[in-house]
Amino acid sequence: PEPLRHSDPADPGPGAPGGLFAWLRGRCLGRGAAVDPARDTFGAMTGLYGAIQPADSVSLSTRTHGAVFNLEYSPDGSVLTVACEQTEVLLFDPISSKHIKTLSEAHEDCVNNIRFLDNRLFATCSDDTTIALWDLRKLNTKVCTLHGHTSWVKNIEYDTNTRLLVTSGFDGNVIIWDTNRCTEDGCPHKKFFHTRFLMRMRLTPDCSKMLISTSSGYLLILHDLDLNKSLEVGSYPILRARRTTSSSDITSSGSSGPRAVGSPCHQNDSGPLSEKTLSRPSQREGGSPRNSLEVLTPEVPGERDRGNCITSLQLHPKGWATLLRCSSNTDDQEWTCVYEFQEGAPVRPVSPRCSLRLTHCIEEANVGRGYIKELCFSPDGRMISSPHGFGIRLLGFDAHCSELVDCLPREASPLREIRSLYSHNDVVLTTKFSPTHCQIASGCLSGRVSLYQPKF
């Protein structure tokens, strides 16, 4: 389909009388489809994704490596790495679908996540409580092993500005590792943050915010992030605990801002923070200080009166939104939701505006209960690839695969299904877009990895 083009009567275009200035203004803002090269070429990219089909399977029938928990491409798209349940990391050439290497004993337990630091260095984390650094040029041995967590390590992030590695685990700790001073014995590290029921942790692309999801349904956001300062309970300014809003909530609440909810400490001790911490007054007025903490209860359709677990957390590549996979506490519903970041001053000091707003959502198949399904944005942020039963769904904000900023709805709207792709015989647990090619990879519970690319 053709990309969405807006017709504005007040903007007659560059060829019309008086339209040159409007055209130049649109070019400065980067919002005109005719002046932004990325928008010009996405018509072709949308056509390519519309023609995408299952291509090749890169599973290894000679080795039992267990379920595929995570997929990660190198930044240049030349290597696809696979984190497996049975202690292994697999490496493939995604273009030729050729197997490159198997790290048969990468860890002593399940490998959960892989993160590239650059085109040659990557990190893996495991249920054995360790993180390992690897170099593609010398895969026979690890660069080093990092010890610091006391439970399963589930998540790795990397700040390219400071070259700090950030990890999180089920011990509730977020730990910072200084890779600038890495030796064979490890890296200097410090505990940055702690919260109960931690599930996933992410950094925004500019590393200005840290988002943390919990199994108790809370989403924590650290604003104006400073990774050089460790945070202990009570040492950071608290923004009021509240529920995220949809557009209809904003309209109905008027100048009073979104409705607030009780602090997590009143939820039968299931919240991520202590009562002492949440009793601190809001310091949002006059701009947030560094590492200001915001505690949110993301609104999920059909879950207004029931708790939910945020199992997967991803960030828009341009930092505009966060993507959540939520399941109800009763495990009878599962949703994919998109929340737009709302920047700017609070509506009024006594009731600060919630920084997230629900814009799009869709109900998922809710199969493979007990397993986390990792979804992702496309490199340009226009599409979402989501595990759906024995396959994946490509989802867009509208039927034209428009950018989020060009199709923000007044009320929360359904994500549009662009295409469904099925090539597995078991529940898909993870999916990933290539950063450089029109290709998608998916991995399932039985260990198969499938590639999808255009076929004409």
* Nearest alpha-carbon partner for 109 in 62, 51, 169, 162: 169
pLDDT digits (tens, 9 = 90+) for 350-367: 445 578 889 999 999 888
Name the domain count of the chain.
1
Local confidence band at 426 (pLDDT 50, 70, 90 cut-offs)? very high
Looking at residue 187, what is its pLDDT?
Answer: 85
Lowest mean pLDDT across 27-41, 125-139, 209-223 = 27-41
The proportion of the chain whose per-residue pLDDT surpasses 70, expressed as a percent, equals 70
What confidence score (pLDDT) does residue 19 get?
Answer: 58
Would you state the pLDDT for residue 249?
A: 41
pLDDT at 183: 78
Higher pLDDT, 148 or 29: 148
Instruction: Taking residues 363-372, report their average pLDDT.
Output: 85
Q: Work out the average pLDDT over 418-442.
A: 92
pLDDT at 315: 95
User: Residue 265 — pLDDT band, cuts 50, 70, 90?
Assistant: very low
Q: Which residue has the higher pLDDT, 237 or 36?
A: 237
What pLDDT is recorded for position 192? Answer: 93
Does the structure show a pLDDT above 70 at 30? Answer: no
- Examine the pLDDT at 10 and tell me if it is beyond 50: no
Q: Is the pLDDT of residue 251 over 60?
A: no
Question: Cβ neighbours of residue 406 under 8 Å, at least 6 residues apart?
Answer: 4, 6, 31
pLDDT at residue number 7: 41
So what's the pLDDT on residue 174? Answer: 95
DSSP 192-211: EEE-TTEEEEEE-TTSS-EE
pLDDT exceeds cutoff 80 at 197 = yes
Residue 137 lies in a domain: yes
Judged by DSSP in three states, 241 sits in strand
Split at pLDDT 50, 70, 90, the class of 236 is low
Mean pLDDT of 208-218: 91
- pLDDT at residue 80, as a whole number: 95
Q: What is the pLDDT of residue 346?
A: 47
Residue 126 has pLDDT above 90, yes or no: yes
- In the chain, the largest separation of any two C-alpha atoms, in whole Å, equals 70
Strands of 98-248 (E only): list them.
Answer: 98-103, 111-116, 121-126, 130-135, 144-147, 153-159, 164-169, 173-178, 189-194, 198-203, 210-214, 219-223, 238-243, 245-246
Q: DSSP letters of 108-126?
A: SS-EEEEEESSSSEEEEEE
pLDDT range class, residue 257, cuts 50, 70, 90: very low
Tokens 């909810």 correspond to 261
User: Is the pLDDT reported for residue 43 higher than 90?
Assistant: no
User: Residue 234 above 90 pLDDT?
Assistant: no
On whether residue 285 sits in a domain, the answer given is no
- The DSSP secondary structure of 36-90, one letter per residue, reads -HHHHHHHHHHHHHHTEEEEEE---TTS----EEEEEE-TTSS-EEEEESSS-EE
Rounded to whole angstroms, how far apart are CA atoms 417 and 398? 9
266 inside domain: no
- The pLDDT, as a whole number, for residue 14 is 43
* Residue 269 scores a pLDDT above 50: no
| Closest CA relative to residue 224, chosen from 244, 212, 209, 239 | 209
**Averaged pLDDT of the chain:** 77
Residue 454 is assigned to a structural domain of this protein: no
| Residue 24 belongs to some domain of the structure | no
pLDDT at 247 over 50: no
With respect to residue 49, please indicate whether it lies within any of the assigned structural domains.
yes
Q: Is residue 32 part of a domain?
A: no
Contact status, residue 272 vs residue 197, Cβ threshold 8 Å? yes
User: Does residue 281 lie in a domain region?
Assistant: no
pLDDT digits (tens, 9 = 90+) for 70-107: 999 999 999 999 999 988 999 999 988 888 899 988 99
- Beta-carbon count within 10 A of 255 CB: 7
Query: Which pLDDT value is given to residue 127?
Result: 94
Q: What is the mean pLDDT of residues 376-403?
A: 92
The pLDDT of residue 68 is 93
| Section 232-246 average pLDDT | 53
Model pLDDT, residue 272: 41
Task: Give the separation between CA 430 and CA 70, rounded to whole angstroms.
Answer: 6
Report the percentage of the chain scoring pLDDT > 90: 42
On the question of pLDDT at 431 being above 80, the answer is: yes
The H or E element that residue 251 is part of is helix 247-253
pLDDT tens for residues 292-332? 888 988 877 765 545 578 889 999 999 999 999 988 766 67
Specify the 3-state DSSP secondary structure of 443.
strand
We report the CATH number of the domain holding residue 436 as: 2.130.10.10
Q: Range of 185's domain? A: 39-242+291-449
